[in-house]
Amino acid sequence: MVLNQATDYALRITLFLAKQEEGQIVEASVIRSTELVPERFLFKIMRNLVKAGIVKSFRGKRGGFMLGRNPEDITIYNVIEALEGPIVLNHCLIDIDKCNKDAAGYCVIHRELAKLRNELIDRMQGINFKMLVDNE
């Protein structure tokens, strides 16, 4: 599993916004230059983060972005899922009909991959952006 570049940028953007004072709106150009995010990625990423409720968007002369929730209510998993979709590991974990052996219900590999996926998700859900800000 490799996170794509947009997801890496999204994690950095979310951390940057989590460091701002509560209610502070940050212009896109400031985010772009501070976090070194190419403009072509920035607005696509922000659309995904806004759609997920992680970020709020403001238009107009004083427009920009701010966190949509408190940093302690946003986890690494939330950001990854907003950009990548659900963590799967193997197709049979989301759709047992995808098992090419027709054994998803009792396959030992299926069970172990499901455990790994759940452990990974639990770990990611246990890391929120307040923790990251506090540990920097």
- Say how far apart CA 40 and CA 51 lie, in whole Å: 18
Domains of the chain: 5-135 (1.10.10.10)
Alpha helices in the chain (DSSP H): 5-18, 28-35, 39-51, 76-84, 108-125, 129-135
Digit-by-digit pLDDT tens for the chain (136 residues) are 678 999 999 999 999 999 999 999 999 999 999 999 998 889 999 999 999 999 999 998 888 999 999 999 999 999 999 999 988 777 666 666 666 666 556 678 778 888 898 999 999 999 999 999 999 8
Report helix, strand or coil for 113. helix
- Tell me what pLDDT residue 102 has: 61
Q: Is the CB of residue 25 less than 8 Å from the CB of residue 67?
A: no
